[in-house]
Structure 1
Amino acid sequence: MWNEPCKERLSKIPKLYETEEIPLKDKLIYLHFFVGGCDWYIAEYDGNDLFWGYAILNGDFVNAEWGYISFSELKAIKVEGWLEIDCELEDLWRVRKAGTIDKIRI
């Protein structure tokens, strides 16, 4: 994985179910992972291996959905044996509401 988020950055993400009462469009997105036409937007983290967020696979916006995402599985993904998942750098990704992210609004 390129630019794997540090423990300090991960510690800023709310724990699983902490934002359960917040409408989806208002949930804060703390991390953005991507490779090719795939994007994962992270809103919650269990502190171990499980994220909760929004996933778009292969640019398929019709079937994109909110759900659980394994951090270890993201780290293990390699496209064609060499291209790895990237996490947008902290100074490039600002935490923002899901409803303000174009790919989630689609």
Structure 2
Amino acid sequence: MTSKAKGLIPRMPRLYETEDTPAEEKLIWIHFFMGESHWYAVEFDGKDTFSGYVILNGDKQNAEWGYFSLSELTELRVGLFVVCVEDGWRMREFAEIMAERHGEGWNG
């Protein structure tokens, strides 16, 4: 994980702190990715569990909000490929990211 991402993690909202925030307004703090799979982190439990939006294998129709663990992401490998943290990530609202990166078809 990049040092910038490590610096953001302690400042992230804790689990359930943003549950009253509309999905499109939630701030995405960190973006993990591998190929066409994306994990957009909104909250963190302070130990291992993130809450966020997940798109697996480019399947926007079945993408959903849920929980994922840092330990599982760091162990995930497909051949030589591993999950990465997007370098230079700029925190912004979920709706802006979805429109910019995934266009229509996201399951907000």
Q: TM-score, normalised by structure 2?
A: 0.86
How far has the Cα of 1:69 moved from its partner? Answer: 0.6
How far has the Cα of 1:25 moved from its partner? Answer: 0.5
| 2:96 counterpart residue number | 100
Could you list the per-position Cα deviations for residues 53-89 of structure 1 after superposition, in whole angstroms to 9, with x for gaps in the alignment?
Answer: 0000000011000000111000100111x21110012
CA distance in 1, matches of 2:103, 2:13: 19
Q: Where in structure 1 do 4 or more consecutive aligned residues deviate above 4 Å?
A: none
Higher helix share: 2
Unaligned runs of 5+ in 1: none
The size of the alignment, in residue pairs, is 101
Q: TM-score, normalised by structure 1?
A: 0.88
Task: Confirm or deny: 8 A CA contact 1:30 1:43 kept in the other structure.
Answer: yes
Q: Percent identity at matched positions?
A: 44
Q: How does 1:27-38 map to 2 (within 5 A)?
A: 27-38=26-37
Q: Does 1:18 align with 2:17?
A: yes
Task: Confirm or deny: 8 A CA contact 1:16 1:44 kept in the other structure.
Answer: yes
How far has the Cα of 1:104 moved from its partner? Answer: 7.8
SS at structure 2 position matched to 1:55: strand
